[in-house]
Structure 1
Amino acid sequence: MPDAGVGQGQRRPTEEETMRLIKPALMAAAVTLIGTLAVHAQGLDEIDPEIADRVFNPELLDPMQPVGPSAWRDWKAKNPPPWTIGYASSYAGNTWRAGAMDELQNEIIPYWKELGMIDEVIITQSNLNDSTQIQQMRQLVDQGVDAIFVCCSNPTALNQTVAYAAENDVPVFSMTGYLTSEYAVNSSVNYQLAGYELGRWMGEEIGGEGNVLIVEGIPGTSGSDSQDRGVRAGLETFEDIEIAGTVAGMWTDQVAQGEVQRWLATYPGKLDGIAVQSAAEMGVLRALAQSGRSEIPITIGGELGALCYWRNNPDYVSAMFHVWPPQNDIQLIWNIMMRTLQGQGPKMQSVLVEPIRMTYDDIASLLPEDCDENNPGWLDVPKEQWGLDPAFIDEFFLRPADPTEYAAQ
């Protein structure tokens, strides 16, 4: 019986002939493999392995979080400073956005203008309308801005606009959530990790059993969806915990208060805890008080009013989690943006940091006894404690340097 592939009367090729035939294919495969390995060696593989293992643990990382090499590694702004920056904000209706905007207008802009590095920051608001935000971003590009940053946006809706900006030599930076475009540079807490810690803490806080209500942020945004996925994963580690329901608090106290009140009015069972995405905890606390269930523990984030409530009720919960201090969040993306404009070369698409866990003693040392439970502000944590240590940020750049010194060059 003839060998497969060799017909009757045909001669089997010699080993030398076979190698001559397949050598081009082997060489092509080798080149492809080397190229793949070279790309893999960029980005995540270039940062400190301890940071990579701790903050980019694949088991606690949103599977859509971009962690490949940045498209802006070898780029530098086409214009010298002072630069014009666009801030295409998606929403302005909660205390977090107000805190970030205050930091931008009263701290960041005056400081970097004095350094001579920015001329103007053009701010737009889209009120959660993707089409409006897309239009505003394209207008910013057409106006000639040098860079754009956005906040908390839909992870995919802006991608074509981000590509349009890149075609015009304008990088786009996303804080408090990621954009999946290969041309975006992102910064935030690892929200899935943060959500997991919140879910695990809630499970332990209620003794490993009971019914928990989940209060999401703004569904459809990466920050909300990543954190929600983590919360559920954390709760699922307890066999005797049931998710009693889910409402969208929209990261807004007034919205969360109304949604939780309506949910409580129709829920006949026992509720043991509420996992809340900040900024909505004050609204949830008010809803519980009005329903006569103030003893139910919730997850507390950075809202000063909620922290003051805990300050005045020491036995209420055992810890808080600061997932997104607005002052630090906007300072971090601004630092990354300035470094990129200066040609420092971001190694990868996302710069992630860890959430901060604090105890009652921590809060008691930061808030006075006469604090105000209606305070709409946010706890400001030390910059170096949350992602703004220069040595930490340096890890994510190929040519790191103090960005405040650039104007003197």
Structure 2
Amino acid sequence: MTAALTGTAACAAKGGSDTDARAAGAGTGGKGCGTLTYKDPGGNADLSQLPKKIREGYNGYFAPVNTSVYKDFKAKSTGHLKIGYSDSFSANGWRGDALARLKQDAAALQKSGVMSSLRTANSNLDNSLQIQQITSMINQRVDAIIAIPNSPTAFNNVIKQAYDAGIPLITLNSHVTSPYAINVDTNYHLTGELVGAGVAKIVKGQGDVLVVDGINGSPASSTLHQGYQAAFAKCPGIHVKGSLEGQWSEATAKSLVLQYLSTHPGQLAAVVNSGGMTNGILQALQQTGRKPVPIGDANPDQGSLVSLRKLLPDQYAAGVTPPAQGMDAALLTAIAVLHGQGPKYDAIVATPTQITGRAALDDWIRDGWTASSAAQAPAPPGTDWLSPQQLRSYFQRPAALPELPPLP
């Protein structure tokens, strides 16, 4: 069973410094503890045109949503497309799965004549190098670029260069402030707030919480952290005692949590992480002789879900940002723009999905998954996550889109 729900503090510091984030309020858990507050994203876009379920995904979105500059864009070519892919980091499962899916999609589209080539590059968190790589793609005259930038602002000039060259740039789960990009995005603020609110309910609004973030400076990691803080701010009994930079890596998260626990002997009520680090956290707790504590996981991998069902089947709150569905949405968005379908907005935002409870895990976990399964978990059954049918709502002149291979 899954539930699609609706409901953004500074980037976490590396290491385990005490950063007590208690908030003012009354009562044991605080009025509103464990609940969400509606916040309109602002901007000049008219979101009222969207179906209610899709519009809810913009609730609390951390950036203004504006009309897209590509609403009347017409590409020079609509077939045999050359697509560029610029990644800022590849050393985690989510990025690896996203790239694998893009290659699978490209192979199928090359056979059907929709695409002619795929060009990929990775900068390993070097913004200057990634800008050079995108510039190279512009000079090679690709038709569109899909990118995961590591900064919301550092790429604005090169994105404008792409626009001036007639090359749409689509970001994936990494919002940029340039008006010349289209952000295909998860509402990370809302996801973080959902996960934080779920954990707050489990611990009854009381106790010390450790946060394990992704990569400091990454828009996704920073915005998830803001979402946790927004949820915990309603709970005066919850104190965020430390924030670690786990880099979305099980090994890194385990090492940092071990270091933190060695210098912080106090009892933790829960640990919240930005995705795919749950097993590392649980292993660190076990290695130091501590019992498992409730877990918040903003985007679990397969092994994390298996471990949660075994150890904490009713003591977790999780979100989902599936890499395969995300990449499909980014690629189809690029193709729709090139085909002149006219995107309405500069941000195409998926409605987050939250799971909690044993029944949800039973629905989500598939045969063959084990605690050591490192691959990202696909969206739970029945989750409509920026599907081709949903994408139609974000375009002025929606039309049929190429068929992609079946999802895993």
TM-score between the two structures when normalised by the length of structure 1: 0.83
2:209–2:270 CA contact under 8 A, matched in 1: yes
Offset of residue 42 of structure 1: 6.2
2:394 maps to a residue whose letter is F
Q: Deviations over 1:207-256 (max 9, x none)?
A: 21000011111121211111110111101111111111111111121211
1:95 maps to a residue whose letter is G
Count of matched residue pairs: 360
2:213–2:243 CA contact under 8 A, matched in 1: yes
Give the alignment of 1:287-326 within 5 angstroms: 287-300=284-297, 301-313=299-311, 315=313, 317-322=315-320, 324-326=321-323
The 3-state SS of whatever aligns with 1:43 is coil
Gaps spanning 5+ residues in structure 1: where? 1-39
1:218–1:250 CA contact under 8 A, matched in 2: yes
Distance 1:377 1:41, change over 3 A: closer
Offset of residue 45 of structure 1: 3.7
Gaps spanning 5+ residues in structure 2: where? 1-41, 404-408
The 3-state SS of whatever aligns with 1:77 is coil
Offset of residue 391 of structure 1: 3.5
Give the alignment of 1:6-405 within 5 angstroms: 43-45=45-47, 47-48=49-50, 50-51=52-53, 53-57=55-59, 60-62=60-62, 65-106=63-104, 108-300=105-297, 301-313=299-311, 315=313, 317-322=315-320, 324-358=321-355, 359-367=357-365, 371-381=369-379, 385-404=383-402
Q: Deviations over 1:251-278 (max 9, x none)?
A: 1212111111111111132211111000
Q: 1:30 maps to what in 2?
A: none
Q: C-alpha separation between the residues in 2 aligned to 1:386 and 1:368?
A: 18
The 3-state SS of whatever aligns with 1:84 is strand
2:172 maps to a residue whose letter is M
Higher RCO (Cα < 8 Å, 6 or more apart): 2
Q: Which has the higher helix share?
A: 1
Offset of residue 203 of structure 1: 0.9
Offset of residue 398 of structure 1: 0.6
TM-score between the two structures when normalised by the length of structure 2: 0.83
Q: C-alpha separation between the residues in 1 aligned to 2:331 and 2:381?
A: 13
Which structure: larger Rg? Answer: 1
Offset of residue 174 of structure 1: 0.3
Q: Deviations over 1:181-203 (max 9, x none)?
A: 01000012111111111111111
Offset of residue 349 of structure 1: 0.3
Q: Deviations over 1:69-122 (max 9, x none)?
A: 11111012112310101101111100111111121122x112211221111110
Q: C-alpha separation between the residues in 1 aligned to 2:291 and 2:399?
A: 50
2:353 maps to a residue whose letter is I
Distance 1:229 1:329, change over 3 A: same
The 3-state SS of whatever aligns with 2:402 is helix
Q: Identity, % of aligned pairs?
A: 28
Q: C-alpha separation between the residues in 2 aligned to 1:105 and 1:370?
A: 24
Offset of residue 53 of structure 1: 5.0
Offset of residue 404 of structure 1: 1.7
1:235 maps to a residue whose letter is F
Q: C-alpha separation between the residues in 2 aligned to 1:122 and 1:383?
A: 32
What RMSD in Å do the two structures reach over aligned CA positions? 2.1
Judge which range, 148-157 or 127-136, deviates more: 148-157
Offset of residue 380 of structure 1: 1.5
